[in-house]
Amino acid sequence: MRIQWHAVIAPLVAAAALIIIYTGDDDGEQVCVPRNVRRVVSLSPSVTREIIDLGAEEMLAGVTSYHPPMKKKVPVVGTILHPNVETILSLGPDLVLYSEEDSAVQHAERLAAAGLCAVSLGRNRNFEEICANYLRIAELIGARDAGREKISRYRALLNVARVTEKRCTVAVFIAHTPLVAASEGSFVGEIIADSGGINVVKDTGIGYPILSAEFLIAVNPDVILSIMPGAAEFFLSLSGSAPGLRATEKGQVYTINERHLAYYTPGDYIAAVREIAALLKKVVKQDENRN
């Protein structure tokens, strides 16, 4: 038996079949209007932290496995990467909140497909976007006034913590092997800018680029910050074979507290700015004393 279609036609047929598979598959945009929200499942640790900050911890019906410390035990619905929609459904939430920061991995469209009222919060690239998302959460859970009051307070705190005079160059690393830095365009880069640092890793469209040791030596920052433990030893050993890394020579390599960098909340943003600004101020003072 011979089938009279040629191998060239077969892929075309299959491609057409695949297109047919998806024809009319558009579920259409679903608009979800949550009312009388009492039970919330949060699929983002930052969102969880903000709900707690708004004094609405008792509304949390479910969280992901990576979550901030909480007063009571709340059911875990899976990981940030892969929340379990069945478990979420079984908890009967009025609202499911997730962030665009994580939705790439969470297949958030499954939530709407399961009939859940799921609301996406935007990216958190800087303090203003964090505040906008914070206010949105407050509105959704019926805590608008509390949210506005908190944001006013946070803005005032940031104005106090912010350092406008840029006095030293900084490189921030979130991993050592490979060397992953936070560029100017990243969330961490914004914190560095508000802390008075000049980020040596410029914005090239990649928020957290992998750098070579050569590049680091070429840009030679005054200060190296890292969220990894043992940063001083690591960069000392890195520069050992290629001397000239100013930060290691002057002992200006620091491990910073990653706790505040891990969450996109106004409070954590300000805490991170304060910590790094204090560090940079100390560095500048040491330099002045040396000179």
What residues make contact with other proteins under the rule CB under 8 A? 1-3, 5, 7, 10-11, 14-15, 17-18, 20-22, 24-25, 27, 65, 76-79, 81-87, 89-90, 92, 101-102, 104-105, 107, 109-110, 113-115, 206-208, 210
Beta strand 210-211 pairing with 179-181: antiparallel
Alpha carbons 151 and 267: distance in angstroms, whole number: 9
Q: Could you tell me the smallest distance in angstroms from the CB atom of residue 96 to other proteins?
A: 13
Question: Which is nearer to other proteins, 5 or 230 (by Cβ)?
Answer: 5
CB of 277 to other proteins, least distance (A): 26
CB of 217 to other proteins, least distance (A): 21
* CB of residue 118 to other proteins, shortest distance in Å: 13
- Give the nearest distance from C-beta 101 to other proteins in angstroms: 7
Q: Find, among 211, 204, 198, the residue nearest to 170 by Cα.
A: 198
Q: Dig out the tokens for 270 from the structure.
A: 């300000």
Q: How far is the CB of 77 from other proteins (least distance, A)?
A: 6
Considering the complex, what minimum distance in angstroms separates the CB of residue 140 from other proteins?
22
The HSE-up count of residue 115 (CA atoms within 13 Å, CB side) is: 4
Cα–Cα distance, 122 to 129 (Å, whole number) = 8
CB-CB contact of 60 with 143 (8 Å): no
C-alpha of 239 from chain center: 30
| Residue 78 Cβ vs other proteins, minimum distance, rounded to whole Å | 5
With tokens 């307070």, the residue in question is 153
Q: Which residues pair with 98 in a beta bridge?
A: 120
In terms of CB distance, is 53 or 190 closer to other proteins? 190
Cα-based distances in Å from 281 to 163, 188, 195: 9, 18, 9
**CB of 75 or CB of 244, closer to other proteins:** 75
- C-alpha distances in angstroms, 130 versus 100, 101, 252, 274? 12, 12, 30, 17
Closer CB to other proteins, 154 or 187, in the complex: 187
Residue number with CB closer to other proteins (83 or 267): 83
Q: What residues form DSSP beta bridges with 121?
A: 99
Closest CB to other proteins among 55 and 75? 75
CB of 109 or CB of 149, closer to other proteins? 109
Longest dimension (CA), the chain: 91
Terminal-residue alpha carbon distance, the chain: 91
Residue closer to other proteins, measured from CB, 22 or 289: 22
